[in-house]
Amino acid sequence: MNALPLAGFSGAAFLWLGFPNDLLHLPLLAPAYPAALACLGARARCAATAFRHGWLTGIVGGSAVLYWLALPVHDVGGLPWPLAVPCAVFIAACLACLHGLFSLGAHTLKEWSPVFFATLLGLAWYLLEEISDLVLGFPWLSLAGALAAWPVTIQAADIVGAYMLSGIWTLAVLLCLCPMANVSSRATGLGLAVLLLCYGAAQLQSRPFDPDPTGKNSFPVLFVEGNIDQNNKWTPEFQRQTVEKYINLTQIFLSTHPEEKPLIVWPETALPFFFEKSALFAPILRATAAQAGCPLLFGAPALRKKPDGKATVFNRAWLLGDTGTTLGAYDKEHLVPFGEYLPEWLKLDFLSALLQGVGLYESGTQTAPLRYGGLVLGMLICYEGIFPSLAKARVEEGANILADISNDNWFGRTPAARQHLSLTVLRAVEQNRWLLRGTNSGITAIVDPRGRLALQGEQFTEATRLGRAEYITEQSLYHTISPWLLPTAVLAGLALAVYGRRRFKTQDR
């Protein structure tokens, strides 16, 4: 029994240290977290205890990773710290239910052979990450996201995707560290880990890192970071100052680099007003793009009147051409709970305060890629970058590059922005696309199709950053087979469970 608290605290520490944090980021510790949960489950006296131990470990580790969720609730929502902190713990507790189920599964399988034990739990981890996406809508604790800081560990995502990759790493670690591991299983687990790393090294070697590509499909990109204070952003008197800041930063750079004709990228809701309704600012923005002779991608809310007279508000990305005309727009499809909408049963005053500016957004249906010449931009806005299905949908619609505009200013000087970037990096590898990430206060980046950062900006600075990217038309294997991964994993898990139950039940007799 003395080993159980140690396994629990170790597991929580593995999860925290595996993800970007304020102290020390050790990515390879993240796959050891499921091993700690499995140890807790296998050594528990009963099923209820197994679930409880896994759940509590998940709460502690998840709260340490996600503590920054309390900041906007306190700073923007106005809730005192004693009430804001439990909001972050509540989110961690919801995700920890999945980790409790994982420990419960380990308890159920504890009499099975190491290979069956590890394989079924590896599949289980994959399925639980799918559930965190499809059901809970917050797949932030994906193990592959923790590993993204080391690109060699995530290259297999172009075959199996991030969630299955998490499951495979879980399988490899469990074969080595599960309570019933033996010499044979440890050798198998080590071999699998080496195989993943060798594949990763081969992929990185096959496409040497070029932070400044010069091929026929390459193009320059200019990111403009306004570092606008979230608390002042939506005040009417601050609108002109915001517009002038973005225009001035852009024009100063282009005046000193007249040879460049880049795609100009401003961040999510860079303009805190309804662009198409603004008789004052819309002509200025169009003139800016025309004067520069460059396309301009920026975020600004959009308003649409319904037949009944009610207004619909969207979080929109706009693309202006090099003459200032509107080439297209993308409406954010997957909204952030509490940040962009509130469930009907949770419309409380302090939560409503989080809906700054225009208030309640609605999910968009205008999601087609934005086109400029040969460039086909598959748009993602902020939080959408953590969802594999949305990036896949953009590529399915013809996108030859992914673009994510974001604003992580809400979360201050915490690891949130680094965690967000790590999760977004996975979309580039999964879809074999360069990814542009423009932000208000960091972390602005260009990600190559192997998950390497060709450009990475600092946080909380007013800045212009020039980089280059390429557009690609070839699709990854994962893009092709992804619709079949989930049903195949479910069927494989059921088949293994039935076979294993018969086999080990017979042995018990």
For the ranges 5-19, 72-86, 348-362, 440-454, the one whose mean pLDDT is highest: 440-454
Please state, for a pLDDT cut of 70, what percent of the chain lies above it.
93
Q: Residue 352: pLDDT above 70? A: no
Q: Residue 78: pLDDT above 80? A: no
Nearest to 15 by CA among 48, 58, 50: 58
**Predicted local confidence at residue 338, as pLDDT:** 61
Q: Residue 354: pLDDT above 90? A: no
Distance of CA 37 to the CA centre of its chain: 24
Q: What is the pTM assigned to this prediction?
A: 0.92
**Predicted local confidence at residue 180, as pLDDT:** 78
- Least confident interval from 105-109, 213-217, 221-225, 352-356: 352-356
Q: Give the Cβ contact number of residue 236 at 10 Å.
A: 8
- Least confident interval from 129-143, 296-310, 355-369: 355-369
Catalytic residue, from 129, 130, 225, 268: name it: 268
Catalytic residue, from 97, 130, 332, 392: name it: 332
What's the mean per-residue pLDDT of the chain?
Answer: 90
- Least confident interval from 139-148, 235-244, 280-289, 317-326: 235-244
To the query of whether residue 470 is one of the catalytic residues in this protein, the response is: no
CA distance 198 to 194: 6
Q: Per the structure block, which two tokens stand in for 370?
A: 């934005």
pLDDT band at 308 (very low <50, low <70, confident <90, very high): confident
To the query of whether residue 382 is one of the catalytic residues in this protein, the response is: yes
CA distance 99 to 62: 10
Amino acid code (one letter) for 51:
F
pLDDT band at 343 (very low <50, low <70, confident <90, very high): low
Q: What per-residue string of b and e applies to 104-140 under the rule 16 or more CB within 10 Å gives b? A: bbbbbbbebbbbbbbbbbbbbbbbbbbbbbeeeebbb
To the query of whether residue 110 is one of the catalytic residues in this protein, the response is: no
**Predicted local confidence at residue 348, as pLDDT:** 53
For the ranges 206-215, 344-353, 381-390, 497-506, the one whose mean pLDDT is highest: 381-390
For 44, counting Cβ atoms within 10 Å of its Cβ (0-12 exposed, 13-18 middle, 19+ buried), the class is buried
Catalytic residue, from 382, 392, 430, 470: name it: 382
What 3-state class would DSSP assign to 471?
A: coil
Asked if 441 and 232 touch (Cβ cutoff 8 Å), the reply is no
**Predicted local confidence at residue 341, as pLDDT:** 61
Q: Using one digit for the tens of pLDDT, what is the confidence trace for 105-164?
A: 999 999 888 899 999 999 999 999 999 999 999 999 999 999 999 999 999 999 999 999
Asked if 440 and 188 touch (Cβ cutoff 8 Å), the reply is no
Residue labelled with tokens 């990759």: 165
- Least confident interval from 106-120, 236-250, 336-350, 469-483: 336-350
